[in-house]
Amino acid sequence: MFDWNDIRCFLAVARHGSTLAASRALRVSQATVSRRITVLEEALGVQLFVRGASGYALSERGRAVLASAEAIEAAAVAFEEGVKAEGRRLSGRVLLTTVESAATAWVIPALARLREDHPEISVELVTTDGLLDLTRGDADVAIRFGRKPTQESLIVRHLADLDECFYASRELVMRLGRPANFAELARYPMVAYGDDRLGEIGEWIAANIPEAKVVQRANALSSIIAAVRAGLGAAVLPSIMGDALKNLVRLLPPIPPKSRCWLVTTDAARRQPHVRAVIDRVVEQVEIATRLVPAAEPPLRIA
């Protein structure tokens, strides 16, 4: 059995005419090239080159086997390219979880882009406001909002800080009038998260609009959006989502607390190439979306 490196040296010397030039082309020492040519000739039992003062010239036997050596080279190159292509062809299943609004705004567009490059990656999307346990394998990747997850076994990446604004249905604004400042929001019924999901935004509302009356609570962002669209009251929503919803009006400029968004995974998951590909596409889509945040809605005309 011949060593492929011996054949590489044979071809390099045949093409360049000397062991010195061949060594430069192969980026090995001249001594290595000379030794490999000698080893190959001894293994074949023939002289492949005629050595002379001007360099190396193919012998009759050398010319006879040149085509076969080139065929071996072509097969080796094809093999290497095939291995590289297989490495680029990612496949596997990825379980990603987030809230419904983020899935619609970010994840689904990201998956459409992912499929163009990696059609054999299958992504199962679980939309829930609950926190699945990534360390138990309930999901590979999560997009979460609020305070930064602190569990030591999780890998957490900051995705974005999103403006948060008060929104209400157009019909409710027509009836109650557009507020001039945050204090005037007290005349609006409020829709909010349950007490266990208040966070910084809920704390800010309690401190700055103490007379606000919450008429509806929900533990899911999708439920809050549905309540606002139905006219039950005003609620704080990420502007990147609220501005895209028909029949909702942004009442005032963003409140100081922003909604922090995090991409969460585990070290074991992110080391898998197909999971890494999903993460990269989601991060890319969030960056695109947050650069294209729509401007605030113009003042509402109230007849």
122-163: per-residue pLDDT in tens? 999 998 878 899 999 999 999 998 788 888 899 999 998 888
Average pLDDT for the chain:
87
Statement: residue 300 has pLDDT above 70: no
Domain 164-257 has CATH 3.40.190.10: yes
Per-residue buried b or exposed e for 117-133, using 16+ beta carbons within 10 Å of the residue's own CB: ebeebebeeebebeebe
Statement: residue 301 has pLDDT above 60: no
Confirm whether 92-144+267-291 and 164-257 share one CATH topology.
yes
Architecture in CATH of 92-144+267-291: 3-Layer(aba) Sandwich (3.40)
Counting residues of the chain whose pLDDT is more than 70, the rounded percentage is 92
181-238: per-residue pLDDT in tens? 999 999 999 998 775 555 677 788 888 888 888 898 887 777 888 999 999 999 998 8
Alpha helices in the chain (DSSP H): 4-16, 19-26, 30-44, 60-88, 100-102, 108-117, 170-176, 199-208, 221-229, 239-242, 267-270, 273-291
Give the count of beta carbons closer than 10 Å to the beta carbon of residue 154: 17
Statement: residue 296 has pLDDT above 60: no
Task: Give the pLDDT confidence score for residue 108 in this predicted structure.
Answer: 92
Task: Give the pLDDT confidence score for residue 80 in this predicted structure.
Answer: 83
Query: Would you kindly state where each structural domain of the chain is located, as residue ranges?
Result: 4-88, 92-144+267-291, 164-257
Q: How confident is the model at residue 56 (pLDDT cuts 50, 70, 90)?
A: very high
> What is the CATH number assigned to the segment(s) 4-88?
1.10.10.10
Rounded CA separation 284/303 (Å): 43
Q: State pTM to two decimals.
A: 0.60
63-108: per-residue pLDDT in tens? 999 999 999 999 988 888 877 766 666 788 999 999 887 888 889 9
